[in-house]
Amino acid sequence: MTTASPARMYPTLSAAVFPQQTLVRHAALVIASALFIAVCAQVSIRLAVSPVPITMQPFAVLLVGGLLGMRLGMASAALYVALGVFGLPVYAGQVAKEGFAHAGSISFGWSILMGGSGGYLMAYPFVTALVGYLAEREWDRTPVRLAAAMLAGNVLIYVFGLPWLYMWAETNPALSGVTDMDVATTLKWGLLPFIPGDLAKLVLAAGLVPSGWQLFRVFKVRNAETRKSAPASMRLAPLGIAAGLAMAAAPLLPWSGGVLPVMSVSGALVLVAGLDAATCAMLRARRMIGPVMSQIWMFAAASVGGLIAFVHLVEFTAMGELALASFGLGVPVAVVSALLLLAVSASESGAE
HEC string of 284-303 equals: HHCCCCCHHHHHHHHHHHHH
Instruction: Name the band, by pLDDT with cuts 50, 70 and 90, for residue 279.
Output: very high
Determine what percent of the chain is predicted with pLDDT higher than 70.
80
User: CB-based burial of residue 56 (10 Å sphere; 0-12 exposed, 13-18 middle, 19+ buried)?
Assistant: buried
CA distance linking residue 211 with residue 83, whole number of Å: 31
Three-state secondary structure of 9-29:
CCCCHHHHHCCCCCHHHHHHH
Asked whether residue 78 carries a pLDDT value surpassing 90, the answer given is: yes
Q: pLDDT: is 136 or 185 the higher one?
A: 136
Position 317 scores a pLDDT of 58
Residue 279 forms beta bridges with which residues?
A: none
Asked whether residue 104 carries a pLDDT value surpassing 60, the answer given is: no
Position 288 scores a pLDDT of 81
Go through 202-234 and write b for each residue having 16 or more CB atoms within 10 A of its CB, e for each that does not.
bbbbbbbbbbbbbebbeeeebeeebeeeeebee
Lowest mean pLDDT among 21-30, 99-108, 217-226: 99-108
| DSSP annotation of 180 | S
Asked whether residue 310 carries a pLDDT value surpassing 60, the answer given is: yes
CA distance linking residue 326 with residue 257, whole number of Å: 8
Determine what percent of the chain is predicted with pLDDT higher than 90.
20
Q: pLDDT: is 318 or 287 the higher one?
A: 287
Position 9 scores a pLDDT of 78
Position 227 scores a pLDDT of 43
| DSSP annotation of 178 | -
Position 52 scores a pLDDT of 79
Asked whether residue 337 carries a pLDDT value surpassing 50, the answer given is: yes
Instruction: Name the band, by pLDDT with cuts 50, 70 and 90, for residue 345.
Output: confident
| DSSP annotation of 227 | -
- Mean pLDDT for 261-285 is 86
Phi/psi for 2 (5° steps) reads: -105, 150
CA distances 38 to 55, 82, 195, 209, Å, are 11, 11, 22, 20
CB-based contacts of 12, cutoff 8 Å, min separation 6 = 66, 67, 68, 69, 132, 135, 136, 140
Q: Which of 303, 305, 295, 296 is nearest to 275 (CA)?
A: 305
| Mean of per-residue pLDDT scores for the chain | 79
Per 3-state DSSP, what percentage of the chain is helix, strand, and coil (rounded to 5)?
70, 5, 30
Check: CB of residue 274 under 8 Å from CB of residue 337: yes
Tens of pLDDT, residues 218-250 = 664 444 444 444 334 456 788 888 999 999 998
- Mean pLDDT for 94-105 is 44
The CA-CA-CA angle for residues 14, 20, 26, to 5°, reads 65
Q: Which amino acid is at 301?
A: A
Position 133 scores a pLDDT of 94
Q: pLDDT: is 292 or 316 the higher one?
A: 292
- Mean pLDDT for 92-104 is 48
Q: Which of 198, 190, 201 is nearest to 161 (CA)?
A: 190
Position 193 scores a pLDDT of 80
CA distance linking residue 196 with residue 344, whole number of Å: 22
